[in-house]
Structures are given as structure tokens and as C-alpha cells.
Chains A and B, each alone.
Chain A
Amino acid sequence: MAAQMTDAHRRFLQALMSNGITEGSEAKKLHQHCCETDKVYYAHDKLDDFISTINSHLQPLFMQIRKGISEDDGRAHYAVVNLAETEVTKMASDYTESELELFRKTMDLIILSENGFASSTDILNLADQLKTKKMKKKEAEQVLKVFVEDKWLSEKNGEYTLHTRCIIEMEQYILSNYQDVARKCNICHSLAIQSQGCESCGIGMHLPCVRKYFRGQTEPRCPECNEFWSCDTPGTKQGVSRMGSQT
């Protein structure tokens, strides 16, 4: 039995849609603001119920407010996603054919990479191989900037990865279209774009999941094959001591 939508729910939904992606604590503040503005009963721990009510009304429209975890800081983020889409149709109205092609190829590079990043050099080299319309490097640089502004990509030290928003919106699409290549985190079982991997058995984990799982352990071992976890695990005692001496 679905609860009724109130203006508070509608206001919240409008804000989420307009933001593109909303961080957890912002969402909580927004929940409070909406309930207070529209004089609706507010309880600070009822955000999930509040969102469920909205989702029950979005379901017939094949839309959903979905929660995803940032691969950078492990914090929750919310986005309104379209479940009916089978491609990058969400972006389709905002970009030209060649921009979309550049995005798809960038996404390929990112997903197929070891660490979930594609260098700007590699991406720009793709620009003049586009089938739709060749792009000059300058133009491609500009397009990448727009993708970052619109939160489809995020950039770190000249390398690009998928933004949390993109992962939340396109997780299903990526898992089905990159079935054999896309990694899932061994701990939380969600799609992992940036990940650390076990050198022996090849399983992968999100960095925030790594931090949580290996917290306080001096000798991190792979949860699957029990081999020594060879990557740097920041936050663990072992990680700290490794930082001091080069192995």
C-alpha cells in the first residue's frame, strides 16, 4: 500500500532531478527542507521511507531514485535513473552524435583499463578516428570538459574515470553490455570501475571497500584465495608501514 505523494515528495524529486546527483548529507538536508516547506511530517531517520514512497510512484514510469556509493570516498549519493533505457539515451538529447560516440569510446577505454582510468592522451587520440564526425583534439578537449561539468566523467591528474552519477545511472547498461569485462566488487557486489585487484586470483574490490575490509589488519589477505594482498591498502597498519619503506 503506497503512501501518498505530497508536495514535499514532489519538491524533493524535482530537486534530485535538477541536481543530477545529490550527495547523502545534502539529500538529508533537502528532505528536511522539503518537509518543512510543505508542512509535512518530518523524521530525520525516515529518508529511506520517504524515497520509497516516491519510488512506488515512479515505478510505473520506469524511473527510480537510486542510491550509489562513490568509488572515491565511499559516501552515498542519490540519482534519478531511467530503468527503461537500454543505451546512453539519457545523454542523447544533450549531445551530438559524435560527442556521444566519443563518450562511448572513452567508456570503453575506462572499463577495459586496469585501474579504471583513461589518460587524456589516449582519449584525444580517439578523436580523429570517430566514425560519425572526426573531431580535432582541441574540440575533443572541450567536449571532455563538458562531460566533467555535467558529471558523466570525473578527472584526476589528466586521467578520466566515470563519475559516480554515471555509474549509478548506467550500472545496468554497463553490466549487461560489458558482461565479460566489467568488474564487480568482491565485497559489495556492485559494479567496480576503479578497483584494486588480487594478483593471484584476479578478484577486484572498490577502494573504500578495501579500506573497510582490511581496517586494522597488519597482513591483508585476499578474501577469495587467501594470498597476500599486494596492493597498497591505505589506512591499514601494513599500508602505513609500507609507505615508510620501499618494498
Chain B
Amino acid sequence: MSQRKRSKGLGCSQLLDGEDDSIPTQVERRSQEQLNQKVSELVQFLLVKDQKKIPIKRADILKNIIREYRDAYSEIIRRADRTLQEVFGLQLVEIDAKRHIYILINNLPCAEGEQLCRDKEKEKMGLLLVILSFIFMKGNSVKDSALWEFLHLLRVYPGKQHSVFGDVRKLVAEEFVRQKYLETTAIPLTDPPEFKYQWGPRAEKETSKKDVLNFVAKMQGKDPKFWASQYSEANKATT
């Protein structure tokens, strides 16, 4: 249905007589249709990867989707991001500028009583929110022993299978970390080695300190201003 816009007058195409048409040269301009095709493929690819909340590496995008269209990479990425925003209300965000890693975040303002997640996901997100709150209220970094002590209060134990979360240690230490919701770093000079937990880059993008403080305030039936230093920090970080 779309018009094929092939650029005319490129004599070089005659020089390449007999060569496989599907290997474009640097000289041959990408047609709109070809670019659109790549954009569609990239959008699909990103949606599928993001379903699992696994961050997407630029290397994978280049290898699986872009391939010989490397020269049009930034154009394709830009258009894919625009499509994601316009059609799905999602945004492509680079969370690691050095290693070029992307995630998709939700652009839509969160609604009260949103039934967006499937039940299993909703419960995991509930646990995550509680953990993020704890970390923030404790000054943005907690030792892993402190985190597990806190979770004990919620009857969540690292060694025991949980009826909803299953292997909780795996969920917290592996899954949430892999999904970039949490970040774990070793505390130097500790023996046996201890770790600390902080917010991961996805958490930074998908929620805010303000939202988290409001959540805690709601749970405890207090005004957010009750926690003066967290309140000022939360209101400062309004990016």
C-alpha cells in the first residue's frame, strides 16, 4: 500500500550489476519502506524483550534487527521510540550510557487501582515497592542482612519457599537485580563478604522517591513531611 520511494539516478546501481540486490551498498539510500520495516521489527523486538523486563543491549539490537542498516541506526532508534510513545505510551530509555543498555518505561500516569499487571506480577511489584521504600527510608542503601531482617517481619524468609514468591532470595538477589530494579554491590573489606542494596536504574526511572515516600506515609497513616530529610530529598529529586 505504501509508495516505494527509490532514489533515482544513482549510477552506482548499474555498476553493481549481477550483485545480490539484498546487500545494499553505502551509496544506496534506504527507502522509506525499508526503514519502516526495520522500525516495525525493532518495535516488536523491544516489546518482546521488555515483557521479561530484561534490559536490552545495543549490541543485540544491531545484531538481530539493524544488521546491514547500521548507518541508519540512530534514525531507526529514534523512529522506534516515537512509535512506542505514540502507540503504546512507552518510552525507550538508555540506563547505561557507557554500555548502551536500554529499557522501556511506562509513560502513562499511573492510575488508582490499576489492574495492569497479571496477579503474579502485581504481587512481585508489591514486594519490590516495599523493598524500595525500606531502602529509601534507610538512606538509599542497606546491608543485605538488614534487608532480610526487615523482610522477616513480613514473614518472608530467604531460606524458605514462599507460597506466592517461591524462592525469595532468588527473586530479590537475582531477578530484581537482573531487571535493574535493584543494584547490589559488595561492601569492601568485609569477611565473610557482605553486600548492600540500592535502587537500580529501572526503579529510578519507573517510580520516584516522592511516590515511594507517599506510599510509606499512606501505610503508616502519617503526613510525608513527618520524615523531614526524606521529604526534602524526595522533593528535590523531581526529574
Interface set of A (CB-CB < 8 Å, partner B):
5, 7, 10-11, 13-15, 17-20, 30, 33, 37-38, 54, 57-58, 60-63, 82, 84, 93-94
- Shortest C-beta distance, B181 to chain A (Å), equals 17
Q: Inside 8 A of A13's CB, which chain B residues have their CB? A: 87-89
Most buried by A among B52, B88, B107: B88
- B117 in complex: contacting residue of A10, A18, A30, A33, CB < 8 Å: A18
Q: Inside 8 A of B44's CB, which chain A residues have their CB? A: 61-63, 82, 84
The answer on a CB contact under 8 Å between B118 and A19 is yes
- Shortest C-beta distance, B138 to chain A (Å), equals 32
Interface residues of B in 17-43 (CB under 8 A from A): 36, 40, 43
The answer on a CB contact under 8 Å between A14 and B88 is yes
The answer on a CB contact under 8 Å between B40 and A62 is yes
The answer on a CB contact under 8 Å between A5 and B87 is yes
Closest 5 CB pairs of A and B: A10-B89, A37-B111, A61-B40, A57-B87, A93-B48
User: Given the complex of chains A and B, what is the CA–CA distance between A5 and B83 in angstroms?
Assistant: 11
Query: How many pairs of A and B residues are in contact by the CB < 8 Å rule?
Result: 59
- Shortest C-beta distance, A90 to chain B (Å), equals 8
User: Smallest CB-CB separation from A12: which chain B residue?
Assistant: B89
- Shortest C-beta distance, A38 to chain B (Å), equals 8
Q: Inside 8 A of B86's CB, which chain A residues have their CB? A: 5, 57
User: Smallest CB-CB separation from A82: which chain B residue?
Assistant: B44
B220 interface hit (Cβ, 8 Å): no
B108 interface hit (Cβ, 8 Å): yes
- Shortest C-beta distance, A163 to chain B (Å), equals 15
The answer on a CB contact under 8 Å between B52 and A58 is no
11 contacts between A and B (CB under 8 A): A5-B86, A7-B108, A7-B109, A13-B87, A13-B88, A33-B115, A54-B87, A60-B40, A61-B87, A93-B48, A93-B51
The answer on a CB contact under 8 Å between B89 and A14 is yes
User: Given the complex of chains A and B, what is the CA–CA distance between A14 and B87 in angstroms?
Assistant: 10
User: Given the complex of chains A and B, what is the CA–CA distance between A50 and B118 in angstroms?
Assistant: 23
User: Given the complex of chains A and B, what is the CA–CA distance between A112 and B147 in angstroms?
Assistant: 54
- Shortest C-beta distance, B60 to chain A (Å), equals 12
Most buried by A among B36, B47, B52: B47
B116 interface hit (Cβ, 8 Å): yes
The answer on a CB contact under 8 Å between A93 and B108 is no
User: Given the complex of chains A and B, what is the CA–CA distance between A20 and B118 in angstroms?
Assistant: 9
User: Given the complex of chains A and B, what is the CA–CA distance between A38 and B108 in angstroms?
Assistant: 9
User: Given the complex of chains A and B, what is the CA–CA distance between A94 and B51 in angstroms?
Assistant: 10
Given A15-B115, A61-B83, 7 new contacts (CB under 8 A): A5-B86, A13-B87, A18-B116, A20-B118, A54-B87, A57-B86, A61-B44
B214 interface hit (Cβ, 8 Å): no
User: Given the complex of chains A and B, what is the CA–CA distance between A33 and B111 in angstroms?
Assistant: 9
User: Smallest CB-CB separation from B115: which chain A residue?
Assistant: A15
Q: Inside 8 A of A33's CB, which chain B residues have their CB? A: 111, 115
User: Given the complex of chains A and B, what is the CA–CA distance between A94 and B54 in angstroms?
Assistant: 12
User: Given the complex of chains A and B, what is the CA–CA distance between A53 and B7 in angstroms?
Assistant: 33
User: Smallest CB-CB separation from A29: which chain B residue?
Assistant: B115
User: Given the complex of chains A and B, what is the CA–CA distance between A7 and B108 in angstroms?
Assistant: 7
B13 interface hit (Cβ, 8 Å): no
- A14 in complex: contacting residue of B40, B52, B116, B118, CB < 8 Å: B116
Given the known interface contacts A62-B40, A93-B52, the answer about A11 and B89 at a Cβ–Cβ threshold of 8 Å is yes
B208 interface hit (Cβ, 8 Å): no
